[in-house]
Structure 1
């Protein structure tokens, strides 16, 4: 069925998805059969393989040879689209050539025989024009699922000109490419940061002479001391319902970004309605999340406030800079140690006695400053690129809203060559 939408340009048409493409379901394996990790050339695409950026090849599983014939009809081919309909709803992507002829999970639908530009349709399905209906579906039940008929009834605005469809898709693809390239830079810089931390926190800067210690070779000038001999964990809790504590910012585990040491937005204890006892920390405390230590939740707020009882406020003596201590607590050696001693209870947690015996390296204050400066300079590059990605996503969302509704038109003629 075709309908005209008076909010669209006159040379655009609104179609039901089922009128411009074939939408069909995937298929689970026969009862009692299981997927295999052995690559036999017959991949099976699960929702677990579907990400915002498309299909990931990580943890790909395969259809056993003996059941291939029974699910032969449920293959999906290169450049066709999929949409997840159970579990995580509304993940949309294009099948890459490497997965041509893969079998598709029953928790996704295949979109084939597309009568408009497939990449244009991909962006419409990813846009808020469609995703807002999917988000609404998620609130209906505890285990929401997208019905095949509902997907076929999605209303898709389409320019009548195939060239305009292609040009819109090409513009959005170019923004996507910029996002992906910047994210690759971030990933590489993160790798550089890890290497710098590993090197600088064990070998220092410019040393030639080393000594053997219980944690390996370290520069001769460095001290190696137990955590308890240089750091103190705050004791005693305060009532967050009383002033002045109720008006102080409160930091919980959820306010510390894992792996990065970045402090996320936080509110006062009063705004959060906190009622249980909290630790008081000051400008010199480094905060360490003792729950699930493999996440490396460490931050140095540099202000006075309250923190959850699941966080240790740690203050070092004058031999150790707080910013240097933060990186020590984010180091792979510390995370490996705390992870190894935290598994004795249902919820992995690090206790004070385990921290007390951890060995801390202590360079001179001057060298600590240099090490911190080096690591922070790399972090600044990461932060700048992350901000760039956020701006690009915002630009992309704005372009999708404008281009996919015809509010902004692309000057084009049907003889113009547009990259696919």
Structure 2
């Protein structure tokens, strides 16, 4: 753990302990500051001003004629809450850029805000100033005086209050075509704690953001490792010592060629249907209207990334579900998507015992030759997914019929090796789940801290929080 992480943990622990109750502000003692129809509540040492009273510059960018190379141009795809995405920069011809006014080139510490479109409008980041770039007409540059720390300002935009004020006060147009009004931005109220407190608040939230980004990077790394391990396990298998077998190039005698893939010589290959104890089947053709207390059923769109949700599913009448009893699902059976999004697969959770499917999904019931979880991973492997892709048909949407799905070959070792392969993949899956759970905790922590710190309900005044260099260098 870094010194910054330790400081963050100490602040959070102290903020939750009884010893720092004095840092929590009684809402009844907050000052009420009126801005037209809006009231902003702030502690006594804080003030609040309209953005127009503390601005140095508020400007929208220009609409460039884009080129393949030249001066980088910041657009809305560059600005997300998780940070800058400069991989999405576009480019302006050098000679055209020479005619642009200097105000269209942000400086270090400027806050850049997305300015068009529902859900996109309002995302903001502090410009690092590490390179000369222009801004296009879909983003707005905000430059304020020394009363406002840019990182504090950016986090206020991200808060529920900041977004509510922005959308209610500063937006023109109808849903889907909304625009941020530069004129109305002048009227936007902004809380102004003492500058040192702004920097402390920004440092705490910046620290959490850094932890979130590090955790996301770890998750991406584990995902790559998992996919690499999955490919290796389903081409090389595991030796008796639980290590991957040596490569086919070095030890060709250990392998055999089956269709388009090389597998260990002792493995068998059978069609998916032959490995099932029942016929593969799709679900209800027409589920009918939603029935509040009816039988839940799984749509293709429910299986995002293969996960089967246990709540929020559509429901059909018991009569329709009974008519399609062949596709009633049971715990640990597999569900595979066969329309639109092809090949997403997961096991049925116990909570969905007795639920059903739609025609866009298929029920797969493994027999004794393969472990259920082994077959799940086999379907997720690159070789199986490639076989799926080769069989996909359709004009309006992609689809694979049950006959073609059932014919896909599935290499498999004996049950003992299957179990060991499942253990290897389960271990890395558990690592992934732990990191994802930690990521969700961090995101909830950030939301809670923004609510408490940016409203002044919890103060940093008496807490030792070093101001981070990344925050201090921008004011």
- Per the normalisation by structure 2, the TM-score is 0.77
Give the deviation of 1:81 after TM superposition.
1.1
1:331 to 377, 381, 390: 381
Contact 1:16 1:152 in 2 (8 A): yes
- For the pair 1:129 / 2:161, whether they are aligned, the reply is yes
What residue is the counterpart of 1:211 in the other structure? Answer: 256
**1:91 equivalent in alignment to 2:123:** yes
Query: Among residues 411, 414, 420, which one is paired with 2:461 in the alignment?
Result: 411
Q: Which residue of 25, 45, 54 maps to 2:83?
A: 54
CA distance in 2, matches of 1:152, 1:297: 49
Q: Partners of 2:462 and 2:293 in 1: how far apart?
A: 61
Matched residues in 1 for 2:101 and 2:384: separation? Answer: 51
- Deviation at 1:304? 2.9
What residue is the counterpart of 1:349 in the other structure? 399
Aligned runs of 1:301-312 on 2, under 5 Å?
301-302=348-349, 303-312=353-362
Instruction: Identify the residue that residue 58 of structure 2 maps to in structure 1.
Output: 23
Q: Would you say how many aligned residue pairs link Structure 1 and Structure 2?
A: 405
Q: What CA distance in whole angstroms lies between the structure 1 residues aligned with 2:387 and 2:179?
A: 43
* Conservation of the 8 A alpha-carbon contact between 1:247 and 1:268: no
| Aligned-pair CA distance for 1:283 | 3.0
Task: Give me the whole-angstrom Cα distance separating, in 2, the residues matched to 1:172 and 1:301.
Answer: 39
Aligned to 2:209: 176
CA gap of 1:65–1:224, structure 2 versus 1, over 3 A, is: same
- TM-superposed CA distance for 1:237, in Å, is 4.1
When structure 1 is superposed on structure 2, of 18-27 and 66-75 the one drifting more is: 66-75
Q: CA deviation at 1:324?
A: 1.4
Distance in 1, matches of 2:402 and 2:445, equals 47
The equivalent of 1:148 in structure 2 is: 182
Task: Provide structure 2 residue ranges, at least 5 long, that are not aligned to the other structure.
Answer: 1-32, 240-244, 247-253
Deviation at 1:413, TM superposition (A): 10
Q: Is contact 2:235–2:263 with CA below 8 Å preserved after alignment?
A: yes
Take 2:285 and 2:292, find their aligned partners in 1: how far apart are those partners?
8
Find the residue that maps to 1:320 and give its secondary structure. coil
What are the equivalent positions in structure 2 for 1:11-410 lying under 5 Å apart? 11-21=45-55, 22-29=57-64, 33=65, 35-38=66-69, 40=70, 42-73=71-102, 74-87=104-117, 88-98=120-130, 100-115=131-146, 116-134=148-166, 140-159=174-193, 161-206=194-239, 207=245, 209-231=254-276, 232-234=279-281, 237=284, 247-258=294-305, 261-267=306-312, 269-270=314-315, 279-293=327-341, 296-302=343-349, 303-342=353-392, 344-410=394-460
Tell me how far 1:350 sits from its aligned partner.
2.1
Distance 1:290 1:239, change over 3 A: closer
Counterpart Cα distance in 2 of 1:335 and 1:400: 43
Distance 1:150 1:230, change over 3 A: same
- Asked whether the equivalents of residues 255 and 266 of structure 1 are also in contact (C-alpha less than 8 Å), the reply is no
Distance in 1 between residues matched to 2:101 and 2:318, nearest whole Å: 56
Residues 400 and 59 of structure 1: CA distance in aligned 2, closer, same or farther (over 3 Å): closer
Q: Secondary structure at the match of 2:206?
A: helix
Check conservation: 2:62, 2:136, Cα contact below 8 A: yes
Give the deviation of 1:110 after TM superposition. Answer: 0.6
Distance 1:269 1:403, change over 3 A: closer
Structure 2 CA distance for partners of 1:72 and 1:325, relative to 1, 3 Å:
farther
TM-score, normalised by the number of residues in structure 1: 0.86
- The 1:120–1:248 alpha-carbon spacing in structure 2 relative to 1, beyond 3 Å, is same
SS at match of 1:355: helix
